[in-house]
Amino acid sequence: MVDKICVVCNESVYATICALCLTDRTEAWLEGKKLSMTREFRQQVRLFLDSLKKRSTMRCSMCRTETIATCHMCYLENIGGWLARKDKGLAVDFVKGFNTGLISNSFKEEIYA
Ligand SMILES: [Zn+2]
Ligand SMILES: [Zn+2]
């Protein structure tokens, strides 16, 4: 398997899940928290994606779309940073949720498979 390189940090991407699939999961989490900010959230993801240079692509293991290669850390940093500007506690929850698999169980399976 050829290593995919994240276009943001140049590290290998171990779990090839696209930003949009991560976003679906995060939205489910936001809704679980009864927060009505999914619209703003989508906008932020859009900005993040637009800021990327299409140097490297990967096929998402969830939706099978050929997409710009990004790792979940850069996604976390960007989206978590945006959340932190709105609500610090929420941002901490977000990162925790990500790391404990609340948001993405299959994501973890990808990493440790
Ligand atoms: Zn990265
Ligand atoms: Zn996807």
pLDDT per residue rounded down to tens, the chain (113 residues): 557 899 999 999 988 999 999 998 888 888 888 777 888 889 999 999 999 988 899 999 999 999 999 998 899 999 999 989 988 998 888 888 777 654 545 444 554 44
DSSP structure string for 34-65: T---HHHHHHHHHHHHHT--TT-EEE-TTT--
Separation CA 13–CA 24 (nearest Å): 19
Residue 13 forms beta bridges with which residues?
Answer: 4
- Ion ligand 1: residue ranges with CB closer than 5 A: 6, 8-9, 71, 74
In degrees and rounded to multiples of 5, residue 57 shows phi and psi of -120, 165
| Distance from the alpha carbon of residue 78 to the mean position of ligand 1, in angstroms | 10
Domain borders along the chain are: 4-106
